[in-house]
A and B are shown apart, each in its own frame.
Chain A
Amino acid sequence: MTFHLLLVVAAGLFCVGLFGALSQQSIVMIMMGIELMIGGTIVAAADFWHFLAPAAPSGQVVVIAAVVAMAAEMAMGFAVTTAIYRARQVDMTDMAAELKG
């Protein structure tokens, strides 16, 4: 049962982050939502590794890949925020609507 409950925790983290990524206007707040979603992925991967296949290192590799994704998302997010703020004094997604298509 612990396995299932931890997966529910992971799903909760993912969906809280999804709400933030969909609803926030600030680019940095959207990045926070994505971080929470990746946090949910990490919990799920560690859960799978521990309860289903501890002998296989694949679960650990998924955790490492997710951590790298977190770092890359953060760095690129800050860089994009800096670039768009410098170009247009904008840090809100709604004000950057002309980026569409």
Chain B
Amino acid sequence: MSTTDLVLLGVLGVLAPACGVLVFTLDSMARVTFALLASLCCVGGVVTVLGLPYLGVVIVLMMVMEMLIMAVFMIAYMMNPAGLMPMSMLHNKGGSLVVSAVVFAALVAGIFAVPWPGRTGVRPKDTTFQAGTALMGDQMLTMVTLGFVLLATMVGATVLATHRGRYDRFGDDLDQRPAKDPAGAGVGR
């Protein structure tokens, strides 16, 4: 690993948790969302520097889109003026801090106590090709499962977010006609 890579890893490794802390300390919900975006972009950067450029770029692109959507949701659902005012919405802050600190201490102790095995094998020339052949070969079952998970997510999210279903509009036996729109609008009003 070159010096540039080490410096990049150091900078990104410090920035990622620091931006993560900002997520829960900033006041404005818009700033909070962009702090999370910065943190997850640093995660994508670390993955890229570690030799997985395809996955790193996918993470960054996905997070940019997710966080923009999340910013809209955050501002839409916050009760004070659009979630842009200082406010604290914590419960059991002390207990949460203790639990997190204990888990962190245990994880760090484990990291330095475990006798990790040495490096086995050499890195392939094209890591994207390695991921592709694995997903289309040995790990095909994983890929199929992930595909079904995404399909189920799409269906489930749509069902949950839809205001009215077909049974709301047409009755239990699907024999009722929908009521006329009381507000009246559109071309024929």
Chain A interface residues (CB < 8 Å from chain B) = 2-9, 11-20, 22-26, 28-29, 31-33, 35-36, 39, 42-43, 46-47, 49-58, 60-61, 63-65, 67-68, 70-72, 74-76, 78-83, 85-86, 91-92, 94
Contacts and interface: CB of A to CB of B under 8 A. Distances in A.
A11 B77 contact: no
Contacts of B66: 35, 70-71, 74
Interface string B125-149: 0010011011100110010001001
A4 B156 contact: no
B176 interface: no
B17 to A, nearest CB: 4
B85 interface: no
Contacts of B108: 8, 11
Given A52-B117, A55-B120, A72 B150 contact: yes
B185 interface: no
Contacts of A5: 13
A26 B58 contact: no
Contact residues on B (Cβ < 8 Å of other chain), bracket? 35 or more
A36 B39 contact: yes
Contact of B131 (A7, A57, A72, A81): A57
Contacts of B91: 23, 25, 94
Contacts of A53: 119-121
B163 A86 contact: yes
Interface in B83-112: 89-93, 95-97, 99-101, 103-104, 107-108, 111-112
Interface in B142-169: 142, 146, 149-150, 153-154, 156-161, 163
A15 to B, nearest CB: 4
Interface of B: 1, 6, 9, 13, 16-17, 20-21, 23-24, 32-33, 36, 39-40, 43, 46-47, 50-52, 55, 58-59, 62, 66, 69-70, 73-74, 77-79, 89-93, 95-97, 99-101, 103-104, 107-108, 111-112, 116-117, 119-124, 127, 130-131, 133-135, 138-139, 142, 146, 149-150, 153-154, 156-161, 163
A25 B43 contact: no
B170 to A, nearest CB: 20
B21 to A, nearest CB: 6
Contacts of A58: 134, 139
B24 A20 contact: yes
A16 B9 contact: no
A23 B33 CA distance: 17
A9 B13 contact: yes
Given A15-B107, A28-B77, A60 B70 contact: no
